[in-house]
Structures are given as C-alpha cells and as structure tokens.
Amino acid sequence: MRSFLPAVAEQLFRDIQQTHQETSQIPDDLLIALKFVFGPCALQALDLVDQHSVTCLSSPSGRKAFQVIGGSGRLYTCFVSCHYCPCPAFAYTVLRRNEGLLCKHILAVYLCRATGGTQQESVSDQQMSALLGGTAAP
C-alpha cells in the first residue's frame, strides 16, 4: 500500500508503537515530535484517542474504514487507505490550502493503530458497500 505520509511521520508512528508495547505510554520526546510534525491537531487527536473515539469497521471481504467521533460529537468516516476524511478541516487545511498533512481524525486513527487503542466492529459486506458508497452507516 502506498503511504501518503512522509518518512519521518511513518517512523514516528513506528516508534510510538514500539515504545507503547513496552511501556503502555507514549514518552514525552515522542509527544513533542508528534506536535512538531503535525502541529496543533496533534493534541486534539490525542484527546480523541484518550476518549476512545476511533472504531475500525471491517467486513468479511477485508475492507476497512474508520469511524471517529469528533469533539462536537459528529461521526466522521475516514479512509486511511486513500487518506481521506469528510471533515471541513481536512477539506480546507489539507486539500485546499495544503497547510497540514492530515486532520485530527485521521491522526487519531494512526495513533490508535500505533497504540492498539482502536475499537473493533464487524460489519457485513453490504453494510461496508453502503458505507463506502456514502448511502448509509452501519
């Protein structure tokens, strides 16, 4: 799978995963690096992780999507495989102005994957197709 993130970000997530497995925490130096690489959305993403706001939906066919409950309570369906979130911040900051690598929702997904904090939910292939098509939520 092609990565949409710079090598430094990929390495940061690997380092977080490794140290989290050993200590169940993210050390201060990695938190500082997270803030440096991702800017203000890093703290917001960490808050979403702490609130267990990320759920991985997976179907029998192997498709995956992530649902993130934002700070306002709105549910966003993010697709890490194609680096997409429907939130306004992603559209404006990442796509339009090219001022950030990603929004807090996608960053929360990456962080949850690195720390093993993603909730898991199985959906049918029909539900996933509807979700991918934007016609219904599981």
Residue at 1 is within a domain = no
Number of domain units in the chain: 1
Band of the pLDDT at 2, cuts 50, 70, 90?
Answer: very low
Residue at 119 is within a domain = yes
Residue at 138 is within a domain = no
Residue at 83 is within a domain = yes
| pLDDT tens digits, 12-57 | 999 999 998 888 889 999 999 999 999 889 999 999 999 999 999 9
Task: Find the mean pLDDT for residues 1-13.
Answer: 75
130: part of which helix (H) or strand (E)? Answer: helix 125-133
Q: How high is the pLDDT of residue 138?
A: 47
Q: Which domain holds residue 129?
A: 7-133
Q: How far apart are CA 68 and CA 48, in angstroms?
A: 8
Residue at 22 is within a domain = yes
Band of the pLDDT at 3, cuts 50, 70, 90?
Answer: low
| pLDDT tens digits, 108-135 | 999 999 999 899 999 999 999 888 887 5
Residue at 2 is within a domain = no
